Structure formats: C-alpha cells, structure tokens
Amino acid sequence: GGDPVTIKASITNGRQGVMPTMAQAVGSPQEISEVAHYVLSLSGSPHDSLKAAGGKSKFTVCSSCHGMDGKGNQAIGAPNLTDKTWLHGWGEQAIVNMVNNGKVNVMPAQKDRLSSSQIHVLTGYVWSLSHPTSSVN
C-alpha cells in the first residue's frame, strides 16, 4: 500500500515485513480484543467504542512500529492501520489472530520479470484498489 511511488518501489524491489507475536506484550484475550477494536476505529471501520477506548492505551505497544497515529512505517513493513486497506483480512478476529500469531511477509522483486511499462500499469492498478475514485499519473 501507500502512495504510487511507494507502491512502484515495492513492486520493483520487493519488500519484507515481520510482525512478531505481540500477545504477551498486549495482555489478556480481553485486552487483545480491545486493541483490535481500537485498530478498527483508526480506519473508521465498525467497532465497539467502549472496547476501542480500553484498547487505546494498550496500543502504545503497537506504536513502536505502527506509530502513535497508526499510520505505519513503510521502511520496516509496518502497514498503515488508518486506511481501508487490510492486507491480511479485516475485522476483530483477523486482528486478534495477527496479534496472537504474528506474520512474516516477503514480496519478491519484480524488476527482472516485468517491464517498466508493466510495473507502471500494475502500480496504477494496485493504487486503484484503495483509491477507486482517484487517478494516478
């Protein structure tokens, strides 16, 4: 995800990201559920506002990678949690699973497989998935 320049760089050069298991740092199953609802609230997704309020303080554990604002850190592969782009499933259970199990991601570089024109078209397509009413140059 991200802006067209970041998308193009990801397609061209690949990327890696690792989210370690965070369950122990976040806390109990109830606290993990609360953090999940807080994460849902960041993107304006349906959530339980009482649970989200409880999860806000525990989100500080997540902020070292995702930032206090939840916008992520592309350099280390931590996605933006404030947009509507969900890389590994949407909803409370998907977030709980991510916190409990972590994730290792590797996207291989495509620069040796695709032409610059193909990368440009693919960049536009990927951008359109999260920006259906926008256009990219």
For residue range 78-107, list pLDDT tens digits in order.
889 998 877 777 899 999 999 999 998 888
Q: Could you tell me the CATH number of the domain that includes residue 40? A: 1.10.760.10
| Regions of the chain short of the pLDDT cut 50 | none
Q: Same domain for 55 and 78? A: yes
Quote the domain boundaries for residue 127. 1-15+109-137
pLDDT of residue 7: 86
Number of structural domains in the chain: 2
Instruction: Using CB atoms within 10 Å of the CB of residue 124, give its burial: 0 to 12 exposed, 13 to 18 middle, 19+ buried.
Output: middle
Region of residue 48 (phi > 0: left; psi between -120 and 50: alpha; otherwise: beta): beta
pLDDT of residue 134: 61
Q: pTM for the full model?
A: 0.76
Q: Same domain for 59 and 96? A: yes
* Backbone φ, ψ for residue 103 (5° rounding): -160, 140
Q: Same domain for 97 and 126? A: no
Q: Same domain for 38 and 77? A: yes
pLDDT of residue 25: 97
